Amino acid sequence: MGVPKLLLVMDALFSDQALWMQDGKLEASVSKALSHEDFLKLKKIMSDPGIDLAVEREIQLGVKSEIKSTPTMFISYVGKKQKVEGIVTYLVLKQFIDSIVK
Protein backbone atom coordinates (compact mmCIF):
# COMPACT_ATOMS: atom_id res chain seq x y z
CA MET A 1 0.00 0.00 0.00
CA GLY A 2 2.98 2.27 0.51
CA VAL A 3 4.12 4.93 2.91
CA PRO A 4 1.88 7.76 1.61
CA LYS A 5 -1.24 5.68 2.26
CA LEU A 6 0.09 4.55 5.63
CA LEU A 7 0.56 8.19 6.62
CA LEU A 8 -3.02 8.98 5.58
CA VAL A 9 -4.32 6.12 7.71
CA MET A 10 -2.16 7.13 10.68
CA ASP A 11 -3.43 10.71 10.40
CA ALA A 12 -7.04 9.55 10.27
CA LEU A 13 -6.55 7.28 13.29
CA PHE A 14 -4.93 10.11 15.25
CA SER A 15 -7.62 12.61 14.29
CA ASP A 16 -10.47 10.23 15.18
CA GLN A 17 -8.85 8.71 18.26
CA ALA A 18 -11.51 10.01 20.65
CA LEU A 19 -14.20 8.23 18.60
CA TRP A 20 -12.61 4.82 18.12
CA MET A 21 -11.26 4.73 21.68
CA GLN A 22 -14.87 4.72 22.87
CA ASP A 23 -16.28 2.04 20.61
CA GLY A 24 -13.16 0.23 19.35
CA LYS A 25 -14.28 0.57 15.74
CA LEU A 26 -11.35 1.62 13.59
CA GLU A 27 -12.91 0.84 10.22
CA ALA A 28 -14.75 4.15 9.82
CA SER A 29 -11.56 6.13 10.36
CA VAL A 30 -9.44 3.92 8.13
CA SER A 31 -12.04 3.87 5.36
CA LYS A 32 -12.02 7.69 5.24
CA ALA A 33 -8.28 7.66 4.50
CA LEU A 34 -8.29 5.10 1.68
CA SER A 35 -10.06 4.54 -1.60
CA HIS A 36 -12.77 1.88 -1.45
CA GLU A 37 -10.54 -0.51 -3.42
CA ASP A 38 -7.55 0.03 -1.11
CA PHE A 39 -9.75 -0.36 1.95
CA LEU A 40 -11.01 -3.73 0.67
CA LYS A 41 -7.41 -4.83 -0.01
CA LEU A 42 -6.45 -3.86 3.54
CA LYS A 43 -9.42 -5.76 5.01
CA LYS A 44 -8.34 -8.86 3.09
CA ILE A 45 -4.76 -8.54 4.38
CA MET A 46 -5.97 -8.03 7.95
CA SER A 47 -8.22 -11.10 7.78
CA ASP A 48 -5.11 -13.30 7.55
CA PRO A 49 -4.87 -15.14 10.92
CA GLY A 50 -1.10 -14.88 10.65
CA ILE A 51 -1.39 -11.16 11.42
CA ASP A 52 -2.93 -11.80 14.84
CA LEU A 53 -0.33 -14.48 15.56
CA ALA A 54 2.53 -12.13 14.67
CA VAL A 55 1.09 -9.36 16.84
CA GLU A 56 0.62 -11.79 19.75
CA ARG A 57 4.26 -12.98 19.41
CA GLU A 58 5.45 -9.37 19.59
CA ILE A 59 3.27 -8.70 22.64
CA GLN A 60 4.64 -11.77 24.42
CA LEU A 61 8.21 -10.74 23.56
CA GLY A 62 7.50 -7.32 25.07
CA VAL A 63 6.07 -8.92 28.23
CA LYS A 64 9.04 -11.30 28.50
CA SER A 65 11.46 -8.38 28.03
CA GLU A 66 9.57 -6.39 30.68
CA ILE A 67 8.89 -3.48 28.36
CA LYS A 68 6.76 -1.02 30.25
CA SER A 69 7.09 2.13 28.13
CA THR A 70 7.87 3.38 24.67
CA PRO A 71 10.30 3.92 23.33
CA THR A 72 12.40 1.10 24.75
CA MET A 73 15.61 -0.06 23.09
CA PHE A 74 17.97 -2.92 23.79
CA ILE A 75 21.63 -2.46 23.00
CA SER A 76 23.63 -5.68 22.84
CA TYR A 77 27.41 -5.77 22.73
CA VAL A 78 29.86 -8.57 23.56
CA GLY A 79 27.18 -10.73 25.12
CA LYS A 80 25.83 -7.94 27.34
CA LYS A 81 22.39 -6.45 26.89
CA GLN A 82 21.47 -2.97 28.10
CA LYS A 83 17.87 -1.81 28.29
CA VAL A 84 17.32 1.87 27.47
CA GLU A 85 13.90 3.35 28.25
CA GLY A 86 12.45 6.66 27.17
CA ILE A 87 13.58 9.26 24.71
CA VAL A 88 17.33 9.45 24.29
CA THR A 89 18.91 12.14 22.16
CA TYR A 90 21.36 11.19 19.45
CA LEU A 91 24.30 12.76 21.31
CA VAL A 92 23.58 10.85 24.53
CA LEU A 93 23.04 7.59 22.65
CA LYS A 94 26.26 8.13 20.66
CA GLN A 95 28.25 8.80 23.85
CA PHE A 96 26.80 5.67 25.45
CA ILE A 97 27.59 3.47 22.45
CA ASP A 98 31.07 4.99 22.11
CA SER A 99 31.73 4.23 25.79
CA ILE A 100 30.82 0.55 25.53
CA VAL A 101 32.54 -0.04 22.18
CA LYS A 102 35.93 1.28 23.34
Burial letters 81-97, b for 16+ CB under 10 A, else e: eeeeeeeeeeeeeeeee
pLDDT at 1 > cutoff 70: no
Strand partners for 77: 80
pLDDT at 102 > cutoff 80: no
Q: pLDDT class for 66, splitting at 50, 70, 90?
A: very high
* pTM across the whole model: 0.58
d(CA 62, CA 65): 5
Domain ranges (residues) in the chain? 3-47, 72-101
The string of pLDDT tens digits covering residues 19-64 is 889 988 889 999 999 999 999 999 999 899 999 999 999 999 999 9
Q: What percent of the chain has pLDDT over 90?
A: 61
Computed over every residue of the chain, the mean pLDDT equals: 90
